[in-house]
Amino acid sequence: GDSDINTEIVVLGSGPGGYTAAFRAADLGKQVVLIERYSTLGGVCLNVGCIPSKALLHTAKVITEAEETSHHGVSFGKPDINLEQLRTWKANDVVGKLTGGLAQMAKQRGVTVVQGVGKFTSPHQVAVTAADGKVTTVGFQHAIIAAGSQATKFPGAPEDERIMDSTGALALADVPKRLLVIGGGIIGLEMGTVYDALGSKVSVVEFMDGLIPGADRDLIRPLQKRMEKRFESIMLSTKVAKIDAKKDGIHVSFEGENAPKEAQVYDRVLVSIGRRPNGKNIGAENAGVAVDDRGFIAVDKQMRTNVPHIFAIGDIVGQPMLAHKATHEAKVAAEVIAGHKVEFIASVIPSVAYTDPEVAWVGVTETDAKAQSLQIEKASFPWAASGRALSIARSEGATKLIFDKETHRVIGAGIVGVNAGELLAEAVLAIEMGADAHDLGLTIHAHPTLSETICFAAELKEGTITDML
């Protein structure tokens, strides 16, 4: 046709959704063009999301663990933090290795990467504008939209580099003396954990009455307790009324019963109040793809938009905005285009906050069960009775399983504690496989491990637990 490049499949955006779809489609023998505005592949997750945040959280954990070993007789000095080196490690040894690996994998598979901002110009063409203004048109038979999301801005906040989103916070320009985190969700608490360990006095303001509103309160309590000890303040049910950028700092005034009466001055502010999809920036209307008011694109179980040859995956199709949801949707889209009869039918999608302690949950929560009057039974095993938890000096955790009252099958799980994110995987598999309390309780778990707490919770429910540390 009249395009510079013609291909079977065009993928717009190279995050976990986009690169997975492109690679899967190429592996299925399709000709693929992958469009990405930035010079590295990997999207938010690899460049400015999941991965760099976990690198900094690792550093934070090393620092706080070293601090805390003084309680058992081993003391280290105050950490000597070389920010430049920390940034270089994060950028080169962690992020760079992964994004470089993606570029290589794209090459190996014969996926053509076109760099620039892509916009649909018709139902069968995308125009890609490079940084130098050069436009490349790509004609396609099928498209997969994987353009992701961006941080929501705080309405009315002034433009000032000290008022950051997660990307700014991950850039680690300095360690502010006093940091305000607006939004007590996952990003705010993960980045708050990092800056607290590096030496900032961290305050969190959240307008709901609890941190991470989506998780059960019993799972949040140990996290909140620890944060209350370490952080300067956690202001719940509190609104930010005004933000002024002045020479001496960012002046913030609050509204709410527990709010400080006077405006507070912070060296930096992190705005982490959610993310919004990029659906309005891709010329979707030129392709006839329906985008809702907020910028989300609706899809069916095969990830197909209202236009039958155009698919959408990842953050842009809705909650939860998680990398592992995007990758699974990506495979479905690629396989459907290749003619496979598949659907996205994950029965559950796990959530993990990589805070300290971590909070992880999957499936039915107790809050859901109450709201929907589900007939459930629950068993919660306190880590204070786990030999392993005690021996790592972190016994504040808990492992909770939620069972269907009739079938005794596991339908939900929540874990708070060190490594909760890793431990949750067993419960996710149990739910997907339809395992019941008996299955988990009779499975021999190695002792002493934190993974035993899942077995113990199942035994608690079965009434077969003995005193066992």
In the bound complex, what is the minimum distance in angstroms from residue 274's beta carbon to ligand NAD? 4
Q: Does 169 bind ligand NAD (CB under 6 A)?
A: no
Give the one entry of ligand FAD, ligand NAD, none that residue 273 binds, where binding means its C-beta sits below a cut-off of 5 to 8 angstroms depending on kind. Answer: ligand NAD
Residues 441-460 that bind ligand FAD (CB under 6 A): none
Only one residue has tokens 């009739």, namely 406
Reply yes or no on whether 438 is catalytic.
no
Q: For residue 288, which phi and psi values (nearest 5 degrees)? A: 80, 10
Give whole-number Cα distances, 283 to 120, 290, 329, in Å: 5, 11, 22
Q: Does 186 bind ligand NAD (CB under 6 A)?
A: yes
In the bound complex, what is the minimum distance in angstroms from residue 20's beta carbon to ligand FAD? 8
Sole binder of ligand NAD in the list 15, 18, 42, 185 (CB under 6 A): 185
- Which residue among the candidates 328, 408, 438, 447 is catalytic per the annotation? 447
Q: Does 384 bind ligand NAD (CB under 6 A)?
A: no
Could you say which DSSP state residue 92 is in?
A: I
Give the one entry of ligand NAD, ligand FAD, none that residue 176 binds, where binding means its C-beta sits below a cut-off of 5 to 8 angstroms depending on kind. Answer: none
Q: Does 118 bind ligand NAD (CB under 6 A)?
A: no
Q: Does 299 bind ligand FAD (CB under 6 A)?
A: no
Q: Does 187 bind ligand NAD (CB under 6 A)?
A: yes
Q: How far apart are CA 396 and CA 375, in angstroms?
A: 28
Token code pair at residue 428: 């996710």
Q: Does 17 bind ligand FAD (CB under 6 A)?
A: yes
Question: Is 238 within 8 Å of 258 (Cβ atoms)?
Answer: yes
DSSP H/E element including 437: helix 437-442
Rounded-to-10 torsion of CA 301, 302, 308, 313 = 90
Q: How far apart are CA 292 and CA 277, in angstroms?
A: 10
Q: Give the amino acid at 332.
A: V
Residues 321-380 that bind ligand FAD (CB under 6 A): 321-324, 326, 354
Sole binder of ligand NAD in the list 235, 353, 379, 389 (CB under 6 A): 353
Rounded-to-10 torsion of CA 64, 69, 70, 73 = -170
Reduce the DSSP state of residue 399 to 3 states and report it. Answer: strand
Give the one entry of ligand NAD, ligand FAD, none that residue 36 binds, where binding means its C-beta sits below a cut-off of 5 to 8 angstroms depending on kind. Answer: ligand FAD
Per-residue binding letters, 32-71, with ligand FAD (x by CB under 6 A) = ---xxxx----xxx---xx--x------------------
Token code pair at residue 303: 């990830």
- Per-residue burial over 294-306, b if 16 or more Cβ lie within 10 Å, else e, is ebbbebeebbbbe
In the bound complex, what is the minimum distance in angstroms from residue 210's beta carbon to ligand NAD? 8
In the bound complex, what is the minimum distance in angstroms from residue 291's beta carbon to ligand NAD? 19
Sole binder of ligand NAD in the list 199, 213, 256, 387 (CB under 6 A): 213
Q: Does 437 bind ligand FAD (CB under 6 A)?
A: no
**CB contact set of 164 (below 8 Å; sequence gap of 6+):** 171, 268, 269, 270, 271
First CA to last CA across the chain, in angstroms? Answer: 71
Q: Which stretch binds ligand NAD (CB under 6 A): 26-34, 90-98, 122-130, 318-326?
A: 318-326
Q: How far apart are CA 123 and CA 113, in angstroms?
A: 20
**Closest to ligand FAD by CB, 189 or 336:** 189
Token code pair at residue 148: 């992701």
Radius of gyration of the chain (CA): 24
- Interaction site with ligand NAD (CB under 6 A): 182-188, 190, 205-208, 213, 240, 272-275, 320-322, 352-354
Where do contacts with ligand FAD occur on this chain (CB under 6 A)? Answer: 12-18, 35-38, 43-45, 49-50, 53, 117-118, 146-149, 166, 187, 278, 281-282, 314-316, 321-324, 326, 354
Catalogue the active-site residues: 447
